[in-house]
Structure 1
Amino acid sequence: MAQVRVLRQKIRATQSTQKLVKAQELIATSRIAKSQARVAASAPYSAQITQVLTALATASTLDHPLLAERDNARRIGILLMTSDRGLCGGFNANAIKAAEELAALIREQGREPVMYIVGRKGLAYYTFRQRPVAASWTGFSEKPSYADAEAAVQVLLPAFLAGSDGEVELPDGTKAAGIDGIHVVSTHFVSMISQVPRARRVAPMEVEYVGTDAPGGPLPSYEFEPGVDSLMDALLPKYVTTRIYAALLDSAASESAARRAACKNASDNAADIIRKYTLLANQARQAQITQELSEIVGGVEALAASSSEED
């Protein structure tokens, strides 16, 4: 009887867990479509600002810090995007691995990687290992806004413009060393079952459309007012913000897809465990009933034998 009771307790506990992960799976499924819609909505603006800035870069002789490679770069910033919550499979582990590989490559080049973290899971990873984090942002990984991207740029861009020879004051009042480049490590949504971490440089800007044989054909002809240089100063920070915002949206869609897959696997595994425990409980109950019947039959036979002897 005790064995049956234990198995039934395990069944109830597993059913409770299954309900939780099933609810998380449904929530993640509903968020994927919304995240994908936001990614699609932001794509045209991102493409257009990149195209305009490329045209500006080819038409201008401006030596802007966001365009020029630095010969003696010493510190490179890495903005790592992770999730605030768990239960999303290898989403965070893969992103952190990509960031670590990029950091190792930067060290091989004789430069120092400087970590900036989005998401509690990434922050916990580096904090637990007592590794320095220049700045972090949490609480919005599943539903980022443009303001969240701006908050990150308000820290990253001044650090980049200051360079490795300068320093900047962070929002919390502390001082931080400048950097000579900004790379973003995020997770790209490929499909419902595939999300791939990738690293992209956002500063200095990488020109994506060059020449007449570039994708989309030659660059359109623009007339710039008030002037190319002033437009570059105004648009380049917006370009960096747009790229980071696009990465945040892509990462949010990937997180929801990874969580849906992880929760579905957990729910399926819970169903298998429930079936297994139910079978064991039924077998134990059947064995118990068989034993009780055997004891009853044995008792009846003993009484019958005793009565025969008395007669």
Structure 2
Amino acid sequence: MGAQIREYRQRIRSVTSIKKITRAMELMAASRVVKARQRVEETTPYAQAITRALSAAASHSDVEHPMTTEAENPRRAGVLILVSDRGLAGAYATSVLKEAEQLAEYLRGQGKEVVPYLYGRKAISFYKFRRREFAASWEGNTDSPKLELAHEIADRLLEDFLTEGDAGLDEVHVVYTRFRTMVTQEPRSLRMLPLEIVEADETDGHHELLPLYEFEPSAEEVLDVVLPQYVRHRIYNCMLQAAASELAARQRAMKSATDNAEELIKTYTRLANQARQAEITQEISEIVGGANALADAKK
């Protein structure tokens, strides 16, 4: 009985230590997600505006730019997968990888070769464990992405997309987690290149008149300068939304873990009290039994 009580008390101490860790991680995620949300709110309108402007400008220009013209027979599609470096965020990484697998299956069904580009240790581990090949990988600061890293990723994708021949890409897709609210984050796949017409979900269903554009010095030179900037900022916005989603998912997961730890502590405390009470009852019974035996012996 005493060994059982010691075991329960040891479990209580272990769960209490885990609770302190999960509570600390919950508070850290809660404090960082506020800044991450602000960065998303600051960059998303610009990303949406430049997408609308460039798609309208490309549609009104007579230039067949390689970044706006679809290949007649696309063969290779690059897929940038944005996941996290660390776990303890619930099903965040799993849902993104699942979305990427569905996109890859869809592209292969169209007869295209999928070329993965990975950002985040979880995605790298996923591919290495299954011994799958990937074109490039980046890691570090997935919960606080840097603009320089976004430019590096975008420049690599642009270089591969503009490469002619069998080594080049005909399409570029991005798989990330779109941040909506602290409770709702959804995995999403987005075709980045060639540039598509404005996404319907970002125009909120309203039909607006698009402006007419005059290009100076020429439409081709303007698109050469602006389109790479569009790709860089669009990828950076996706990375920021993924970071905010990761922190929100981690906060929820750590809060759930803390609540579960509290329930375990209550359960083990109750079991320890029951074991202690049973031990005391047994001791009293032994004392009473011994006293009765002595009394019977004296008779």
TM-score between the two structures when normalised by the length of structure 2: 0.94
* Distance in 2 between residues matched to 1:221 and 1:110, nearest whole Å: 38
For residue 124 of structure 1, what is the aligned residue in structure 2?
A: 125
**Paired letter, 1:34:** K
For residue 196 of structure 2, what is the aligned residue in structure 1?
A: 206
Deviates more, 1:292-301 or 1:153-162: 292-301
Deviates more, 1:57-66 or 1:140-149: 57-66
Correspondence 1:15 to 2:42: no
Alignment of 1:11-160 (within 5 A): 11-160=12-161
Change over 3 Å in CA distance of 1:223–1:74 after alignment to 2: closer
Q: Cα offset for 1:249?
A: 0.7
Correspondence 1:265 to 2:221: no
**Paired letter, 1:150:** H
Correspondence 1:161 to 2:178: no
Q: Percent identical across equivalent pairs? A: 47
Deviates more, 1:69-78 or 1:42-51: 42-51
Q: Cα offset for 1:209?
A: 7.5
For residue 267 of structure 2, what is the aligned residue in structure 1?
A: 276
**Paired letter, 1:87:** L
Q: Cα offset for 1:100?
A: 0.4
Unaligned runs of 5+ in 2: none
Query: Per-residue CA shift, 1:241-294, capped at 9, x if unaligned?
Result: 111111111111111111111111111111111111111100000000111111
Query: Per-residue CA shift, 1:79-101, capped at 9, x if unaligned?
Result: 01111000111111111011001
8 A contact 1:195–1:254 mirrored in 2 = yes
Aligned-partner SS, 1:131: coil
For residue 187 of structure 2, what is the aligned residue in structure 1?
A: 197
Q: Cα offset for 1:61?
A: 1.4
Deviates more, 1:278-287 or 1:185-194: 185-194
8 A contact 1:188–1:197 mirrored in 2 = yes
**Paired letter, 1:264:** K
**Paired letter, 1:266:** A
Corresponding residue to 1:241 among 232, 239, 244: 232
* Distance in 2 between residues matched to 1:55 and 1:126, nearest whole Å: 38
* Distance in 2 between residues matched to 1:10 and 1:257, nearest whole Å: 30
Unaligned runs of 5+ in 1: 167-176
Change over 3 Å in CA distance of 1:224–1:214 after alignment to 2: farther
Q: Cα offset for 1:303?
A: 2.7
Q: Cα offset for 1:214?
A: 7.5
